[in-house]
Amino acid sequence: MSHPLFDLAGRRALITGSSQGIGYALAQGLAEAGAEVVLNGRDAAKTEAAAETLRATGATVHVLAFDVTDHDAVRTAVDGFEARLGGLDILVNNAGMQHRTPLEDFPADAFERLLQTNIASVFHVGQAVARHMIGRGRGKIVNICSVQSALARPGIAPYTATKGAVANLTKGMATDWAKHGLQCNGLAPGYFETPLNQALVDDPDFTAWLAKRTPAGRWGKVEELVGACIFLSSEASSFVNGTVVYVDGGITASL
């Protein structure tokens, strides 16, 4: 039997970008901890298929399709869901993208897409959901950061900038909203086997470098993010605010 502080029964969680990869794994983990989950993704058919897979496990799953980069669409979708089905207790801001190009050649349009998808979306969805949470005097927001919130690698400078911004926006959310009963924290994955990282996973030279660079000596598995997410989404983290939890096999701790 799990400790009651980690029990999410009766809670409802919206996870953006949750049709695959880290978002789907977190949605599955929150559902296993008792939460009702709301999946979101750009591809409606793919998101609905993911929802059906989760429902087959006995989870209560909704699909809420909206573009996380469209402020008005986000507000309309969140307000409509709250009016129809009830409050969102947990928000996991997971939607994100990557683009790898040396900085001197980085396309301006790709830079703008990264800004909108990785950081503006956290503002749009965070604000829309928090307005309802504030009225209820409670809520959990978990923003997915990265080891690139603290470190840089060649070829991904704009991505690094966005993830640094997510970490600081998390601090700002906590500073503004803790007084209203919200806990806003970041979860920063290291290098995990996901579709976003598939090109790196398939590169034997990169994998060899990563094994040497990471104290744990390997890629992370998405299931290894679930425990930290449950902690940040539950009463166990009732006095944790504005922090970033790194789940990275020790890569940010070691030279």
Q: What pLDDT, in 10s, does the model give residues 105-144?
A: 999 999 999 999 999 999 999 999 999 999 999 999 999 9
Alpha helices in the chain (DSSP H): 21-32, 44-55, 71-85, 108-114, 121-136, 157-177, 198-201, 204-213, 226-233
Output the pLDDT for position 209: 96
Is residue 161 classed exposed, middle or buried when 0-12, 13-18 and 19+ CB atoms within 10 A define those classes?
middle
Q: How far is CA 215 from CA 65, 190, 198, 245, in A?
A: 39, 12, 21, 17
Output the pLDDT for position 1: 60
- Tell me the C-alpha distance between 66 and 14, whole Å: 12
- Tell me the C-alpha distance between 55 and 61, whole Å: 6
- Tens-place pLDDT, residues 12-71: 999 999 999 999 999 999 999 999 999 999 899 999 999 999 999 999 999 999 999 999
The verdict on residue 8 lying in a domain is yes
Angle at 169 between CA 87 and CA 80, to 5 degrees: 25
The verdict on residue 176 lying in a domain is yes
Whether residue 246 lies in the annotated active site? no
The verdict on residue 84 lying in a domain is yes
- Tell me the C-alpha distance between 126 and 13, whole Å: 13
Structural domain including 170 reads 4-246
Residue 30 near residue 233, CB atoms below 8 Å: yes
The verdict on residue 254 lying in a domain is no
Residue 133 near residue 92, CB atoms below 8 Å: no
- In the set 24, 159, 191, 246, the catalytic residue is 159
Supply the angle between the helices 121-136 and 71-85 in degrees, to the nearest 10.
Answer: 30
The verdict on residue 165 lying in a domain is yes
The CATH number given to whatever domain includes residue 34 is: 3.40.50.720
- Tell me the C-alpha distance between 93 and 17, whole Å: 8
Neighbouring CB atoms inside 10 A of 226's CB total 20
Task: Kindly give the pairing relationship between strand 12-15 and strand 182-189.
Answer: unpaired
The verdict on residue 14 lying in a domain is yes
Mean pLDDT of the chain: 97
DSSP-assigned beta bridge partners for residue 103: none
What total number of domains does the chain contain?
Answer: 1
Residue that is written with structure tokens 């977190």 in the block:
26
- Tens-place pLDDT, residues 169-204: 999 999 999 999 999 999 999 999 988 888 899 999
Output the pLDDT for position 197: 87
* Residue 160 in this model has a pLDDT that exceeds 70: yes
The verdict on residue 252 lying in a domain is no
